Structure 1
Amino acid sequence: MMNEPPEADPKKLLVGLAGQQNAGKSTTFNMLTGANQHIANYPGVTVDKKTGFYRYRETRVELVDLPGTYSLTSFSLEERVARDFLISEHPDVIANVVDASSLKRSLYFTFQVLEMGFPVVVVLNMMDVAKRNGTHVDVSALEHCLGVNVIPTVGRKRRGKTELKDAILDTANRKTHNSLRINYEELEPAVENLQKRLDQSKQAENYPSRWLAVKLLEGDSEAERIAGELLGEECEELKMAESVRQEFEEEHYMNVPDYLVGCRDRLATKIVNTCVTETKNGRDRVTETIDRVVLNRFAAPFFLIATVFVIYQLSIVKGYELTVYWWPILAKLRAMVAGVLPAAGILEDPYIRSMGLWMVDSANALLNYIPIFLILFSLIAILEDSGYMARIAFILDKLFHSFGLHGQSTLPYILGGVFAGGCAVPGVMATKGIPDERSRMATILTVPYMNCLAKIPFYTLLINVFFAPYKSWAMLFLSTVTIFVALLVAKLLTSTLLKSMETAPFVMELPKYHSPTLFGVGQRAIERTWQYIKKVGSIVVAVSVCVFTLLQFPGISDEKQAHFEEEITQAVGTFQKKIAMTQYANQFKDEAALASMINLYNDFKTARLTTKGAKASKALSARFKANYPEQFKFLKPQKDKDAKKVNKALRGLVSKRKSLRRQIKESQIETSALGMVGRSLEPITQWAGFNWKINVAILSSFAARESSVATIGVLYQQGADENKSLEDRVEAEAGEGGFSPLHALAIMVFFALYPPCLATTIMIKVQTASYKWMVFSMIFPTTLGFVAACLIYTGGRALNLSGIQMMGVFYAAVLLTTVCTGLFSSWERKPGPPPVPDLREAPKPL
């Protein structure tokens, strides 16, 4: 929501922006207000109403972008949100956005808005698409037919902006409105009679009487509720509507809602025949040609899998190669922060320095994947803007129904991370649009299985360390096996715990293909990446501080501390002996001077590791020589023999110091509160191949998934002071600890099925209004994930399989189970022979 301007205008207008899904409402909203709202070529992107402001001709206009919906009934949340706003807020003008390339379909919603009696401006959007398809709309004739202003626009190119603003103000200032009135033919007398009765009732004067009359005849539950509250449950109007409906259906063998829709359809056809001229049969040949391939019964699944594979190949595999150039920048950032913090001691660092570097290391471990996310988000934006994302929902609809889900479960899954880069929180929130409760609950409980944005760094870390030769296949495994598991869990839930809940059919429009714009794709990729960076800078850093604190206390024992101090004292003594006969011996007797020299040596060595090229190396040496003229000879001695002796002794002392500092950190972590919890779980988690460090990382990830990588980054400290990448550090310690690809596979599968993060858990409680389901969403995935990890690790060891071999076995098992379950469900749903019709009396013609 945009911030309201500080100064107020005397003239104010409230304008509702309404229309069917994928007509370009959000684009029009951005055109008028300048807001950077998420726009995609996917039906139903706007879930809740959004508000923006703009000023025009000394008038302050509040523009409310309502959810896209095909009607104003009460079957879905979007319809209720849009209708409740119109009824309760009484906007001054309704800007009805329609798709010029599909005018007849759009008019169904327009008729319902006109019926509510509001001043309306029709925004004839996507005129460029209509022109490209050979569709010519006579705007003047359409205005005459509808009795309202019709403004042609191209929202994404900001064409028609001024004309639309003028029309909104002119419509608001017009005292009389002669808009179209729909004639319901045989039911028109009943509508008029019921409308007169409602007009005479003072209790219903705040509602559009003709609209309410039509809705009562339709048997709309929300309209009946309103009438019952205003006029009483036994009011004559409700009885009259029910009586008319019953008599009509008995006489015509057709229910009233279908008849009313037929009246609107005939009117829409008449208007289109009058106002629209087709020069190419009104067909989008490009869309039809593409759909013949991507929606082909046999080719569609392969095309979808190939799309997923290409996305991960370009983002994860190729994107990771860019981190080679990105990591040195982050390493320099760490060095800059280290230079500002208090200097390191010979054995231990000041608490502020330790905390500061811990936070930087936590952030850097995640910021290293920014190139991957930029590519990933760009590819997802291309899918959204092109229109293929809606085709994915169409392709998956039949599959979803076989597992007890709904076609509208696709959007929550996409937001949750079908293509990765999503987030379970908006995914769970998007389930509000699913009309039947059973599928909605199943979707809520399975959305967290998707590969959200926070899981990708963890996957990328382990895959690049343990499955480097098979990166593409490993990411394809993780991106698809989670979908299969989600389907199996959904089938299990809808067949047991959710079996008694109701279901509803799936209706969705396939938008025409559009060419993504470079600006739109780039803007969305940058916005989403920036959201990721902000999350790293807030939640992850906050969690890292909590983890750091839990890993510091109670600390190592006095006995161990004395042992380490004795070791460093002996190392310093050895250093002093080696340089005793040099001219620089007295220069390093002071402990502070020695500590300063050690830190300078480490800084120079770290800087050299991040510097590439002979020219850059010479520049680095020149800079250190200029800044530290007295100490530089010990960093890079030339002909000075004494300086060479000091340099050699210094290298030995630095190596011993690094080893001791690493031992101290490990002892401190092992004896810490969080470390002891991790170790206490090892007798159980060993069956899944988890050591105590992995246990600690998994525990920290409950608050935020990104914290898993951040925690691993600070638990695996070997090489951190040299600014080595996390992959290099994990690989080094894994080699020493016997950590294999089989371990990594078990961990990745557990992490994929692990309970949702804290924010998602809270959202599940909000959407289900039940603590029971919230607890279930934590316990069930934990059990499932741990059993799967144990089967992978223990089973792989028993069968003597490698990590990649076990990956194939597990994948085949899950895929086979999914296919068999889906086929069995389809077989169960096959209808029997059609009933024999009763031909004793033919229905009367209308």
Structure 2
Amino acid sequence: MAEADAGSGRRGAGPVPPARDRILVALTGQPNCGKSTLFNALTGVHQHIANYPGVTVDKKSGVYRDGALTVETVDLPGTYSLTSFSLEERVARAFLLESRPDVVVNVVDASNLRRGLYLTFQLIEMGFPVVVALNMMDVARSHGLSFDLETLSARLNARVVPVVGHKGTGREALRAAIRETAASGAPVPASLNYGELEEAVVTLQASLAAEPALHARVSARWLAVKLLEGDSEAERFLTAHVAHPHGLLDSAERAAAAFQARKGLSPSDQAAACRDDLAGDILATAVQRADTGRVPITERIDRFLLNRWLAPAFLVLTIWIIYELSIVQGMRLADVTWPVLAGVRDLAADWLPAAGFLHDPLPRSMGLWLLDSANALLNYVPIFLILFALIAILEDSGYMARIAFILDRILHRFGLHGQSTLPYILAGVFAGGCAVPGVMATKGIPDQRARMATILTVPFMNCLAKVPLYTLFVNIYFAETKGLVLFYLATITVIFALLVAKLLSVSVLRNMETAPFVMELPHYHLPTVTGVLRRALDRTWLYIKKVGTVVIAVATVVYVLLQFPGLPPERQADYHARGEAAIAAFRAGLADTALARTVADQDSLTRLVTLHVDVQADRAAAAGDPAALARLDARVRARHPDLAPFLVPGDDPTARTAAAALDRLAATREDLREDMRNARLLNSVLGQLGAALEPVTQYAGFDWKINVALLSSFTARENSVATLGVLFDQNEGENRTLEARMAAEQAAAGFTALTGMAVLLFFALYPPCMATVIVIRTQTGSTAWTVFSVLFPTLLAFAVASAAYSTGAALDLTGLETMTGVYLLALGALVAAGLLRRPVGRSLPRPGYRARSGSTAD
């Protein structure tokens, strides 16, 4: 490299800045170069993770002390270049331009130096004081590579420090280089010669250097190259900081067009070729390769993992392990952590105002509702810990890139990405997953359009919570063919997800910028326990903080919609009268006994009934353990000696009579409270909305009861069946299953298997539940996309269900025949969509990266 246009590279003298006690360091590097591991080695535990404003890209920062100097280090997103193709590139470049770090540490994979220098040249050309951290030296040496560090440093016009990040080797030398570089003053911006493009670069550089507003903000030469490359972000930067930018923009456009017309080559391709030539020349003078006579271990592993026939088997095995450990075992771990959350709820219940006999105070009712909503999300924490740890292992080992390599070619046809596979698997695909971790797993997809398409289609997968309603309706309407219908449901969701992803990619997502897909297959590395655990904990904690800021507001709105306007006065009076009658019967049973004085007032009676419910729950939990039951009885006698005869009657006849009366009173109270909850639901905003929607939903065969069940399932899928159990109630003395009750009532109403088919199709394509919507909001950072994620699937599901129901009714088809027709039509559409070319986004092919799939070699 050279200083500006001239001679050989050296660090400029520059003015020496005054001594400071704090500096800002930016850590940059290409993906899979070990940057995050080196960041952890530098900063230790003093780290903070947030998001860059307005985007979902992680902003990881840390602080370490170097003598009297405090060094704030920011780990920028991994990026191959400083263009404007991907969100990560724009975020990294915006930070460099706006924050102007005192030192930029460029982490480079020593075993893949030629590729890594592509980013290094651009950083140096921007005029930053750069320290090159030559990472993975152990891997490079195992490949027979040796480095002339002095020559390499002179050619790059930057200090070069060899390190092994995961072992901490070279950490102190790197810290010293950072300290000395920050104290040595600003370097003379170095550059490379762009050959036949050089004249245009120099001319535009001179014009930019004459603009005073740019002097302290950016290197004129770097900006000149970017403008000639047609970089949209560079054009916006110039427009934002120069009063009259049009002349400069026109000059850049004319120069670029003239060069391309003259040489038949775009300026960006010329610049990329010059960078690659310079990288090759530097390697020839500063790097030697000894013939070890051994095939690199990465190549040996890939002979199996990327084998045409074995690769799918390894991929399926890997996905199965991730699914088994994170979802299945994670849910088992959640069974261990749930008592902790339940204990917190019990503690909160003790602190909140006491429950009433029939009516709970609003602070108690709403407080427990909000806590239950939060616990529903916190219950996923064990899954996330395992999931993020496994993802970190895949990323650090180098296999994550190979997953994308294996599946990208197929998913690419539908506007998705190879890394869309894992979110779909975690969300359930065929059955049994959860959309919440599925949406969270989209964070690593680098292509923003594909990432958004994945986020919006992950909820189509068959999460475990959909299974109860599937089972209910299949047993009612398709008992003889349940295997075939369940197969349809398990696979039609995948078909629609791919079709919707294709539709979104050619419509609302078409103009979203997308990164060119570069299949850079890194060397395999052994992940470190510390690095994996730290990233799993960091990402999980970030999820907890993000969701915690949204869940309270959403849960409050849902609470209001389910509780208000409440019951009419006459209904409340009826429930009150029935409650008073039960209390009177209870007191009559205690007449002429000493125990009657114990519960003489209403407060003591309510306290007794509430305590009875808690004790019965504890006894049920300890059932089968005589010792535990004995301890429970002793504890009740010690803590509540006045009420113990009701709760632990023993052999005292009076106490046993009182306990039996208390059982009847508690059962009546519970029945009344449940009836009140059900009546309040029917009279609530959601209940009335279900009735109001019936004139529309009748085209899909839905009545108001199905509408209410589907609306209530927005909070959680399981609520659909629970709500149907309330709405299809049974008469006193009956003891029939919900399937039997629904089958009888719907048959009397004229419903057929067409209705069941329409409900199943609608539920399969139904919008995401509340927990998933919250996570979509945190992942997209956009209210508009969050609303779209609810409205679009609702309209799609209703359109499909209505069309299928109406067509089946018009053609006098059975429910199975109609579902078979829908399935075959969707499958045919999938094949046709797969044959169409993927839409071209707003990005251009990245210069120097030719292959879409496959390993890129030096």
1:724 matched residue in structure 2: none
The alpha-carbon deviation at position 167 of structure 1 amounts to 0.6
Label 1:732 to 1:124 Cα distance change in 2 as closer, same or farther (>3 A): farther
The alpha-carbon deviation at position 808 of structure 1 amounts to 10
1:349 matched residue in structure 2: 360
Deviations 1:710-755 (A, max 9, x none): 977997999xxxxxxxxxxxx9877865699979855652335689
Find out whether 1:750 has 2:768 as its counterpart: no
Label 1:575 to 1:497 Cα distance change in 2 as closer, same or farther (>3 A): closer
CA contact (8 A) 1:123 1:150 kept: yes
Find out whether 1:611 has 2:622 as its counterpart: yes
The alpha-carbon deviation at position 151 of structure 1 amounts to 1.2
State which of 749, 774, 784 in structure 1 corresponds to 2:796. Answer: 784
The alpha-carbon deviation at position 232 of structure 1 amounts to 6.6
Equivalent-residue separation in structure 1 for 2:131 and 2:284 (angstroms): 21
The alpha-carbon deviation at position 628 of structure 1 amounts to 2.0
The alpha-carbon deviation at position 536 of structure 1 amounts to 6.2
Find out whether 1:162 has 2:177 as its counterpart: no
Equivalent-residue separation in structure 2 for 1:420 and 1:346 (angstroms): 38
Label 1:456 to 1:534 Cα distance change in 2 as closer, same or farther (>3 A): farther
Label 1:381 to 1:73 Cα distance change in 2 as closer, same or farther (>3 A): closer
CA contact (8 A) 2:137 2:162 kept: yes
1:548 matched residue in structure 2: 559
2:655 matched residue in structure 1: 643
State which of 83, 106, 114 in structure 2 corresponds to 1:104. Answer: 114
The alpha-carbon deviation at position 463 of structure 1 amounts to 8.1
In the TM superposition, 1:688-837 aligns within 5 A as 695=707, 707-708=715-716, 745-746=760-761, 748-752=763-767, 757=773, 760=776, 779-788=791-800, 814=826, 817-823=829-835, 825=837
Find out whether 1:634 has 2:634 as its counterpart: no
1:595 matched residue in structure 2: 606
Equivalent-residue separation in structure 2 for 1:502 and 1:404 (angstroms): 13
Equivalent-residue separation in structure 1 for 2:250 and 2:290 (angstroms): 49
1:678 matched residue in structure 2: 690
CA contact (8 A) 1:224 1:238 kept: no
CA contact (8 A) 1:359 1:541 kept: yes
Label 1:159 to 1:657 Cα distance change in 2 as closer, same or farther (>3 A): same
The alpha-carbon deviation at position 103 of structure 1 amounts to 0.8
CA contact (8 A) 1:70 1:109 kept: yes
Equivalent-residue separation in structure 2 for 1:411 and 1:231 (angstroms): 48
The alpha-carbon deviation at position 64 of structure 1 amounts to 4.1
CA contact (8 A) 2:598 2:642 kept: no
Greater shift after overlay, 77-86 or 117-126? 77-86
The alpha-carbon deviation at position 122 of structure 1 amounts to 0.6
Equivalent-residue separation in structure 2 for 1:761 and 1:533 (angstroms): 13
Greater shift after overlay, 550-559 or 532-541? 532-541
Equivalent-residue separation in structure 2 for 1:69 and 1:422 (angstroms): 27
1:563 matched residue in structure 2: 574
Equivalent-residue separation in structure 1 for 2:601 and 2:394 (angstroms): 64
SS at match of 1:17: strand
RMSD: 5.3
Equivalent-residue separation in structure 1 for 2:379 and 2:823 (angstroms): 29
The alpha-carbon deviation at position 102 of structure 1 amounts to 0.7
Letter of the aligned partner of 1:620 in structure 2?
A: L
Equivalent-residue separation in structure 1 for 2:294 and 2:167 (angstroms): 23
1:449 matched residue in structure 2: 457
Label 1:812 to 1:387 Cα distance change in 2 as closer, same or farther (>3 A): farther
Greater shift after overlay, 347-356 or 190-199? 190-199
Equivalent-residue separation in structure 1 for 2:591 and 2:339 (angstroms): 38
1:17 matched residue in structure 2: 27
CA contact (8 A) 1:420 1:479 kept: no
CA contact (8 A) 2:114 2:283 kept: yes
CA contact (8 A) 1:377 1:421 kept: no
Equivalent-residue separation in structure 1 for 2:126 and 2:90 (angstroms): 15
Find out whether 1:389 has 2:404 as its counterpart: no
TM norm structure 1: 0.75
Deviations 1:760-807 (A, max 9, x none): 57997969xxx7x887665432211224456899999998789xx999
CA contact (8 A) 1:688 1:786 kept: yes
The alpha-carbon deviation at position 121 of structure 1 amounts to 1.0
Percent identity reads: 45
Letter of the aligned partner of 1:675 in structure 2?
A: G
Label 1:512 to 1:565 Cα distance change in 2 as closer, same or farther (>3 A): same
1:723 matched residue in structure 2: none
Deviations 1:20-62 (A, max 9, x none): 23323344344434454679xxxxx994766554443433444
The alpha-carbon deviation at position 249 of structure 1 amounts to 6.6
Letter of the aligned partner of 2:298 in structure 1?
A: T
Find out whether 1:655 has 2:667 as its counterpart: yes
The alpha-carbon deviation at position 509 of structure 1 amounts to 1.7
The alpha-carbon deviation at position 573 of structure 1 amounts to 3.6
Letter of the aligned partner of 1:97 in structure 2?
A: V
SS at match of 1:751: coil
1:264 matched residue in structure 2: 275
CA contact (8 A) 2:204 2:251 kept: no
Letter of the aligned partner of 1:640 in structure 2?
A: D
Greater shift after overlay, 94-103 or 55-64? 55-64
Letter of the aligned partner of 1:343 in structure 2?
A: A
Per chain length, whose mean CA-contact separation is higher, i.e. which structure has more relative contact order (CA < 8 Å, sep 6+)? Answer: 2
In the TM superposition, 1:284-683 aligns within 5 A as 285-301=296-312, 303-404=314-415, 434=448, 440=449, 444=452, 447-451=455-459, 458-459=465-466, 484-494=495-505, 505-534=516-545, 538-580=549-591, 584-585=595-596, 587-588=598-599, 590-611=601-622, 613-682=625-694
TM norm structure 2: 0.74
The alpha-carbon deviation at position 584 of structure 1 amounts to 3.9
The alpha-carbon deviation at position 310 of structure 1 amounts to 3.8
2:135 matched residue in structure 1: 125
Equivalent-residue separation in structure 1 for 2:329 and 2:778 (angstroms): 36
